[in-house]
Structure 1
């Protein structure tokens, strides 16, 4: 049975709420620790990494439990409904650090609430990813669904990367997080309502945990793609972790360019994220059409090559005194990033079908857990990698003010968010052509 337009769009809506938290944890937590709580950047990087490594431990558990859940609402919806509330509430808590705490107390507070927020995130993200393999087996429908998903995800990026920092400048991070919490929970709950009558697998999986692991690991094309998507995510996560620093120290608004007023109203970081999201939204239909015409893999390779080119171009323009030029580059970068956002998520459900057809077991939750594992691993290590690189060059922490940084530290920041991720994306392209293509064709 074909999905209705409302069901496709409704399924995609949930990712708006999910991505708000993803952007907040990637973009703001490291900066919050170093720029507002005074935690040295190396320690802050390891704190963030430690919590995100813990986050990975919960993935297989939630994936297996959701596969084995049996309820009148299906296997996935109960997890997502509860997880949305946990994720949003804990996100507010992690920024609500009480005044008067010492350094150890501040770090402990952030770790506790950040860890709880990631549990809520896992409760939503893994069942949500599993739904993509259950609602339809039509690859073209999946591309369209993923296009809707990434369109809404782009709005989530805008909320998490532009609205939250903009609000935080006036009301503080905790109140900003509280202000967007209804959007997070509402998007996920409305998605569940819109897809309540969509096709789904209600029968709990019968295979045990060991059997699920063996089935997933035996799907070689899926495992290769999951690993390569983790590599791609490492590149994007390093860029994201470094952007708040770049907006403060590498992009100076002189007040003489076309978007200077907007930069002053929104903050430079918010403006750049808005430009990035605009590019991503504009590109979604393009990547769907290109995937249909040249194949998903070829479209992904084209997008990643364009992404590399944009990063090299960006490197040539840093540091910059023109926020207008930077905004234009970020629109183009967002268009290239759209391929990374959309196409792998449309490919991996097709690969799950191979295992279901061969084994008869519907273990999409287990597949979703492994799929997210590589991305979470990348997101966990990216802040630590960036923190260690910057610390090695003498980056100075702060407690809310802008402090002077050495020329070596600023140069290091510039290549860390341009040339380094570009090199990682080149490795991803080679992996897709040399490893994934032969495996997928076998």
Structure 2
């Protein structure tokens, strides 16, 4: 049975709420620890990484439990509905640090609520990803669903990357989190409502954990794609983690360019994210069309190659006082990022079908958990790498948002958010061309 337009769009809607938290997590937590609480940058990177590593451990558990859940609402919805509330509450709590505590107490507070928020995120994201392989087996529908998903995700990026930092600058981080929490919960709950009549596999699987692992890891194309998507995510996570520092130290508004007024009103960080999201939104239909013309693999390689080129160009443009030029580059980067966002998420559910057809087992939750595992490893390591690089070159932590930094530290930041991600994306392209061999039926777009 073909999905209705409201079901395709409704499935995509949940990602708007998910992505708001993801961007806030990647963009603000590390900078909040170092620039607001005065935590040394190396320690902040290590703590952030430790929490995200813990989050990785929960993925297989939630995937296994959601596959084995049986309820009147199906296998996925109960987890998503509760997880949305846990995620939003944890996000508010991690920024609501009481005044007057020392560094150790501040860290303990942030870590406790960060763990809570990431558990909630897993409760939503793993079952949600599993639905892509459950509600349809049509690759054409999956490409359309993923385009809707990434369109809504782009709005989530705009909210998390442009609205939240602006609100945080004016009202404080905790208040900003409170303001956007209804959007997070509402998007996920409304998605559940709109997809309640979509086809689903209601019967809980009975496969034991060892057999589940064997089936998932036996799908070689899926394993390779998961690893390489993790590599891509590492590059993007480095850019995201370093962008708040770049907005303070490498993009200095001269006050006399076309977008100077916008940079003043929104803050430079918010303007860059708004430009990035505009590019991502504009590109969604383009990447669907290119996936059909070139195949999903060909379109993805093209998008990543464009991304690499833009990172090199950005390296030569920074530092800059022309926010208009940099914003224009961020629009183009957002368009290239659309390929990273959209195409792999349309590819991996196709690979779930292969295992289900061969084994007869519906273990989409396990596939979704492993898929997220690769991304979370990358997101966990990126702050640690950035923190180690900045520490090695003498970065100075502060409680005043900005302070004079050594030239060597600024140079290290410059390279870490441009040439290093470009090199990592280059490795991903080489890996795709050398090792990714999907079943013939899935090598072309629908």
State the TM bucket, normalised to the shorter chain.
over 0.9
- How far apart are 1:169 and its partner, in Å? 1.0
> Within 1, Cα distance between the matches of 2:25 and 2:182?
18
Q: Secondary structure at the match of 1:295?
A: helix
Assess if the C-alpha contact under 8 Å between 1:228 and 1:428 holds in 2: yes
Q: Which residue of 1 aligns with 2:94?
A: 94
Deviations 1:242-297 (A, max 9, x none): 00000000000110101111101100000000000000000000001111111100
Tell whether 2:284 aligns with 1:284. yes
Matches within 5 A, 1:37-436: 37-436=37-436
- How far apart are 1:400 and its partner, in Å? 2.4
Assess if the C-alpha contact under 8 Å between 1:140 and 1:292 holds in 2: no
Deviations 1:167-195 (A, max 9, x none): 11111000000000000000000000000
TM-score (normalizing by structure 1):
0.99
TM-score (normalizing by structure 2):
0.98
> Within 2, Cα distance between the matches of 1:109 and 1:321?
38
> Within 1, Cα distance between the matches of 2:403 and 2:171?
22
Deviations 1:339-391 (A, max 9, x none): 00000000000000000001100000000000000100000000000000000
Q: Secondary structure at the match of 2:361?
A: coil
Deviations 1:7-44 (A, max 9, x none): 00000000000000000111100000000000000000
Q: Give the length in aligned residue pairs.
A: 441
> Within 2, Cα distance between the matches of 1:62 and 1:401?
38
> Within 1, Cα distance between the matches of 2:116 and 2:14?
20
- How far apart are 1:407 and its partner, in Å? 1.0
- How far apart are 1:92 and its partner, in Å? 0.3
What residue ranges of structure 1 are gaps of 5+ in the alignment? none
> Within 1, Cα distance between the matches of 2:232 and 2:336?
13
> Within 2, Cα distance between the matches of 1:47 and 1:122?
19
> Within 1, Cα distance between the matches of 2:220 and 2:367?
12
- How far apart are 1:440 and its partner, in Å? 4.0
> Within 2, Cα distance between the matches of 1:46 and 1:323?
32
Q: Secondary structure at the match of 2:395?
A: coil
